[in-house]
Amino acid sequence: MGAGHGWLGGFTVVGGIYVGIGSGLFVSAFVYFLAPPPPLPTRSDHPPPAREPRTGVLVVNLGTPDEPTPRAVRRYLREFLSDPRVVEVNRAVWAFVLNVIILPFRSRASAAAYAKVWTKDGSPLLTHSRRIAGRLGERLGERFVVVLGMRYGNPSLAAALDQLAREGCDAIVVLPLFPQYSNSTTGTVQAEVGRLVAQQRAQPTLRFTPPYFDHPLYISALAARVREVRSGAAVELHVFSFHGLPEAYVRRGDPYVDHCTRTAFALAEELGLDRAEWELVFQSRFGDEPWLQPYLDETVPALPPRATRILVSVPGFATDCLETLEEVDIRLRADFMAAGGRVLLRASALNDHPLWIEALESVVRGSAGPATACATGAPGGPGHVENPAPDAHSAELR
């Protein structure tokens, strides 16, 4: 009994000590959060040291899976196809269709397609995009900080913007690698960048490059890619293939088809082609609704015997990717040959072609402002400054 009282008494004493400590900590925390912080020192005998202004350049491509596996492709497609600017339908209905029908069945087939074009360096789209950003940074020089971000997947836009913030960039030029504007590509990039920057305390000035579908250096780079494969070859017809878009989007005001058409005519003129020597087509349609026509996969197999030796170029694709390497180089070529075709040449995407990098430099300097403008500024003058609303499509989908 006495021992029990001793044990209990000791416990009471120890418990009281802990209660006292806890109470003290609680009171201290309460007082800390209620008490005003000491005033920030604002008086200084000297101005803060001057800092060399730096301009960030955010190079943006659409995105790609992290690896050619069903799980990684499913993760990528979910993010991509959940964007309301990519798929403009009722969100509740689309969420059911996407998660119950599309993702379970399409992810495995898409992963198999990616595996056919994957390299030891990884995704071709990501590899070429990194090279573009690197070459552009070399041309722009030390006043610019060039980083790469993907609208979907990695490296993410959020990570790229965080890097530019750490680098102390006062202004950011956003350069989507989409020469032709669409709400589903450039538009969604602008909206997402605006949403992310709006969350920052110290917000940089945002400048978005204008569409550059007819920039002379861009057209020259496209023509150079065509000449690389056309040299010495007998080509009966040129096919200019752009990524498709639902017709409904254009009817609602998307300028994409106008930009594609103007690029095609400018490229044909640069190559010295008559109108009968080239065709404009659209590829990579998805779903059952009408997309921009004529369709690549229907037009090309129907060309023989009119044309059995053709050259396909892809002016809207900044980099070689699934749509060029698998859809055109593998499937379209097989269909064309099976239909009686003899030769299908394909001009490489722009990737890191020197003229293309020079074009991008021109576009960036034109958008960055007079202090960094160069003689070969982009048509239409400097880029517009805007901060798109947070609520303000496409590639790598197969």
Q: Do 201 and 284 sit in the same domain of this protein?
A: no
| Whether residues 187 and 267 fall in one domain | no
Residue 5 predicted with pLDDT over 60:
no
pLDDT digits (tens, 9 = 90+) for 331-360: 999 999 999 999 999 999 999 999 999 999
**Cβ 248 vs Cβ 287: under 8 Å:** no
376 confidence band (pLDDT: 50, 70, 90): very low
Q: Which residues of 193-232 are buried (b: 16+ CB within 10 A; e: fewer)?
A: bbbbbeeeeeebebbbbbbbbbbbbbbbbbbbbbeebbee
Residue with tokens 């101005």: 47
Tell me, yes or no, whether 67 and 192 share the same domain: yes
Indicate if 181 and 226 belong to the same structural domain.
no
**In this model, does residue 197 exceed pLDDT 90?**
yes
- Is the same domain home to 256 and 169? no
Cα–Cα distance between 383 and 368 in angstroms, integer? 7
Q: In which region does residue 168 sit, left (phi positive, over 0), alpha (psi from -120 to 50) or beta (all else)?
A: left
- The pLDDT value recorded for residue 282 is 99
> For residue 38, what pLDDT band results from cuts at 50, 70 and 90?
confident
- What are the beta bridge partners of residue 233? none
Domain assignment of residue 226, given as a range: 216-346
The DSSP bridge pattern shows strands 237-243 and 205-208 to be: unpaired
The radius of gyration computed from the CA coordinates of the chain, to the nearest angstrom, equals 28
In a domain, 255, yes or no: yes
Confidence band (pLDDT; 50, 70, 90) for 28?
Answer: low
Mean pLDDT is lowest, of 12-16, 166-170, 193-197, 238-242, for 12-16
Predicted local confidence at residue 22, as pLDDT: 54
What value does the mean pLDDT take over residues 260-268?
99
Q: Which two tokens stand for residue 29?
A: 């925390």
User: Per the domain annotation, does 174 fall within a domain?
Assistant: yes
Segment among 206-220, 236-250, 257-271, 359-373 with least mean pLDDT: 359-373
- Give domain status of residue 322, yes or no: yes
One domain, residues 205 and 87: yes
- Give the tokens for residue 347: 């001009």
How would DSSP label each residue in 268-283? Answer: HHHHT--GGGEEEEEE
Query: Which residues, 6+ apart, have CB-to-CB distance to 324 below 8 Å?
Result: 314, 317, 346, 349
Q: Dihedral of CA 256/260/265/269: which sign? A: positive
The reply to whether 198 falls in a domain is yes
User: Is 85's pLDDT higher than 60?
Assistant: yes
Q: Is 8 part of a structural domain of the chain?
A: no
Mark whether 290 and 222 lie in a shared domain.
Answer: yes
pLDDT at 25: 52
Does residue 264 belong to any structural domain of this protein? yes
**Is the pLDDT assigned to residue 254 strictly greater than 80?**
yes
From residue 392, alpha-carbon distances to 85, 91, 172, 193, 234 in Å are 9, 16, 19, 10, 48
Within this chain, do residues 190 and 65 fall inside the same structural domain, yes or no?
A: yes
- Alpha-carbon distance 382 to 7, whole Å? 82
Q: Identify whether 260 is part of a domain.
A: yes
State how far Cα 62 lies from the chain centre: 3
DSSP bridge partners of 242? 282
CATH code, domain carrying 368: 3.40.50.1400
The answer to whether residues 116 and 256 belong to one domain is no
Domain check: are 96 and 199 in the same one?
yes
Among the candidates 346, 364, 390, a domain finishes at 346
Q: If you ran DSSP here, which 8-state letter would residue 6 be given?
A: H
pLDDT at 386 > cutoff 50: no
What is the residue type of 173?
V
Same domain, 63 and 181: yes
What's the CA gap between 306 and 285, in Å, rounded?
25
Quote the CA–CA distance of 395 and 69 in Å, as a whole number: 18
| Residue 51 pLDDT grade (very low, low, confident, very high; cuts 50, 70, 90) | confident
The residue length of the chain stands at 398
Alpha-helical runs (H) found in 35-122:
70-81, 91-96, 103-117
Q: What is the mean pLDDT of the chain?
A: 88
Q: State how many domains the chain has.
A: 2
Q: Are residues 236 and 163 in the same domain?
A: no
Tell me whether residue 284 is in a domain: yes
User: Per-residue pLDDT for 126 more than 50?
Assistant: yes
